[in-house]
């Protein structure tokens, strides 16, 4: 059986690969295990230098990597380039972090107590298809900085950028066996990684359903697990906000990456007194989202990842549709930007659509806004639009979500922690926080008694 890789904007086959199976996973884990002792012993300056070299190689190959990502995911090229720039910055950040994540000395009776940060061993990194290279780098950077070796499993639909990155890893001088890529089906390759007794940790990004099964599978061998799962984030717009600015930004908070974004603010909560004006502005700004050829520099939204996924997305785009935009006919898995007026109880407001469909929901006051924002099993992201600073902080503290932004859509920055509350998962990626979950604290007591 071959793994056929398709460009979702054209439906053309862009690669055919021999998929990895259980044997390949076992071989990759064995290589990673063999490489671990030498890699953890590499001095901090050398390890930082190797990560810096990898960052520079990503930058040198930015155009090529962005093109691979754009063709394989259907991402607009301008966005793909920004993502690859972030990948370079992630490796630069973790190169700098290698010697800044350290232990402490603790005063105790009869001696001194030292803590050390030790690597875990072999880490299994399982990543999805929506931001393949970006999300891989968020896991690779801290894993390598802490001295772990890894087996990276890209999603079966989008393996190409990870395979190219693995070549750049070797070109950077990172020893063979430290980074291993296995491209194959999740239920075989992913599951084997989860169950493998020589894998110490699984870092997973994907659906909540598979995340739960990863957790169950990892329990058998007491693996460390971090999970970054689905979301149903709220974009809360108060009547006192700069409505023009909020409405201009809102489409990109849900339609970026064609809505295939765990941080998508796919519930737009609008204060009732501003409803008419805001909806009018939002329809106008949404109608101007440029949907089309991902290779075109001006394109803002490409197709969905697959025909099957388009079917799923379409099942949410009904009811009280306020706006439906244009999309190319095909070939390609196109779907138009769609705004649906809903209540928070409707399916479109409860489930992660993972496509360009947003639910518009009215609220009466601040307390109701917080209640609605929290009325979801998820808790990943969200935005608050208001000119009242105290209210912004009150609402931010009230929403049970890992990442919030005020008068902005942004969710991810290299130096700041990213991750979820509730069924959006646990553990934090990016920033110095990520290093916590790729290392173990060791405590050594030294007696100073004569
Ligand atoms: O995700 P899966 P899918 C959500 C989103 C989307 C839905 C389905 O709502 O529509 O999930 O997407 C690997 N053991 N998100 O089916 O299956 C798989 O090969 C171990 C949200 O693509 O969770 C891939 O590498 N691994 C999300 C990765 O898990 C397994 C991103 C994710 O695939 C496995 C993606 C198994 N049993 C989807 N089964 C986000 N948070 O951004 C599959 N995999």
Among residues 238, 280, 233, 281, the alpha carbon closest in space to that of 261 is found at: 233
Contact 274, 363 (CB under 8 A): no
Helices then strands, each counted (H, E), the chain: 15, 18
Q: How far is Cα 3 from Cα 194, in angstroms, rounded to an integer? A: 21
- E strands present in 82-153: 105-108, 111-119, 122-126, 149-153
Q: Is 171 a catalytic residue?
A: no
| Phi-psi sector, 332: left (phi>0), alpha (psi -120 to 50), beta | left
Task: List the end-to-end C-alpha distance of the chain, in Å, as a whole number.
Answer: 69
Task: Compute CA distances 102 → 203, 238, 321, whole Å.
Answer: 22, 43, 54
Considering the entire predicted model, what is its pTM? 0.97
Residues having CB closer than 6 A to ligand 1 are 126-130, 153, 155-156, 186-187, 190-191, 194, 205-207, 210, 213-214, 228-230, 262, 352, 354
Active-site residue, selected from the candidate residues 71, 83, 228, 300: 228
- pLDDT (tens, 9 = 90+) of the chain, 450 residues, equals 899 999 999 999 999 999 999 999 999 999 999 999 999 999 999 999 999 999 999 999 999 999 999 999 999 999 999 999 999 999 999 999 999 999 999 999 999 999 999 999 999 999 999 999 999 999 999 999 999 999 999 999 999 999 999 999 999 999 999 999 999 999 999 999 999 999 999 999 999 999 999 999 999 999 999 999 999 999 999 999 999 999 999 999 999 999 999 999 999 999 999 999 999 999 999 999 999 999 999 999 999 999 999 999 999 999 999 999 999 998 999 999 999 999 999 999 999 999 999 999 999 999 999 999 999 999 999 999 999 999 999 999 999 999 999 999 999 999 999 999 999 999 999 999 999 999 999 999 999 998
Among residues 84, 74, 80, the alpha carbon closest in space to that of 6 is found at: 74
How many CB atoms are closer than 10 A to CB 399?
A: 21
- Using most ligand atoms within 8 A of CB, pick from 139, 207, 225 the residue to mutate for ligand 1: 207
- Using most ligand atoms within 8 A of CB, pick from 125, 188, 210 the residue to mutate for ligand 1: 210
Q: How far is Cα 6 from Cα 55, in angstroms, rounded to an integer? A: 28
The sheet that has 201-205: what strands, in order across it? 179-181, 149-153, 122-126, 201-205, 224-228, 425-426
DSSP annotation of 320 reads: E
Nearest CA residue ID for atom 28, ligand 1: 128
* Beta partners for residue 115, in sequence order: 443
């Amino acid at each position: 059986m071959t793994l056929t890789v398709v460009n979702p904007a054209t439906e053309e086959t862009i690669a055919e690969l021999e998929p990895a199976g259980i044997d390949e996973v076992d071989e990759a884990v064995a290589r990673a295990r063999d490489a671990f002792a030498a890699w953890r012993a590499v001095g901090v300056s050398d390890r930082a230098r190797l990560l810096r070299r990898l960052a520079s190689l990503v930058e040198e190959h930015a155009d090529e990597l962005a093109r691979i990502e754009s063709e394989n995911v259907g991402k607009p090229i301008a966005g793909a380039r920004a993502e690859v720039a972030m990948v370079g910055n992630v490796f630069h950040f973790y190169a700098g972090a290698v010697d800044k994540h350290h232990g402490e000395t603790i005063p105790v009776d009869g001696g001194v107590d030292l803590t050390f940060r030790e690597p875990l061993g072999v880490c299994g990194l399982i990543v999805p298809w929506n931001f393949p290279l970006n999300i891989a780098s968020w896991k690779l950077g801290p894993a390598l900085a802490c001295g772990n070796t890894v087996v990276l499993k890209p999603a079966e639909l989008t393996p190409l950028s990870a395979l190219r990155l693995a070549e750049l890893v070797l070109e950077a001088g990172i020893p063979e066996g430290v980074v291993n890529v296995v491209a194959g089906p999740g239920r075989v390759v992913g599951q084997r990684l989860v169950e493998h007794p020589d894998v110490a940790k699984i870092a997973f990004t994907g659906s909540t359903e598979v995340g739960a099964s990863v957790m169950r599978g990892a329990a058998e061998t007491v693996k460390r697990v971090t999970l970054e799962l689905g979301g149903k984030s709220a974009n809360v717009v108060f009547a006192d906000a700069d409505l023009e600015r909020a409405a201009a930004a809102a489409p990109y908070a849900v339609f970026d990456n064609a809505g295939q974004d765990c941080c998508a603010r796919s519930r737009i909560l609008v204060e009732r007194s501003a409803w008419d004006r805001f909806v009018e502005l939002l329809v106008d700004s949404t109608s101007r989202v440029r949907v089309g050829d991902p290779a075109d520099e001006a394109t803002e939204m490409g197709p969905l990842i697959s025909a099957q996924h388009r079917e799923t997305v379409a099942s949410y785009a009904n009811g009280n549709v306020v706006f439906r935009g244009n999309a190319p006919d095909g070939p390609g898995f196109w779907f138009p930007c769609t705004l649906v007026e809903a209540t928070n109880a409707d399916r479109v407001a409860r489930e992660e659509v993972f496509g360009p469909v947003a639910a518009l929901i009215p609220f009466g006051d601040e307390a109701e806004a917080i209640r609605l924002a929290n009325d979801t099993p998820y808790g990943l992201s969200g935005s608050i639009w208001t000119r009242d600073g105290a209210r912004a902080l009150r609402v931010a503290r009230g929403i049970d979500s890992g990442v919030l932004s005020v008068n902005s859509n942004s969710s991810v920055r290299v130096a700041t922690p990213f991750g979820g509350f509730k069924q959006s998962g646990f553990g934090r990626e990016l920033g110095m926080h990520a290093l916590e979950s790729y290392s173990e604290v060791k405590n050594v007591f030294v007696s100073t008694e004569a």
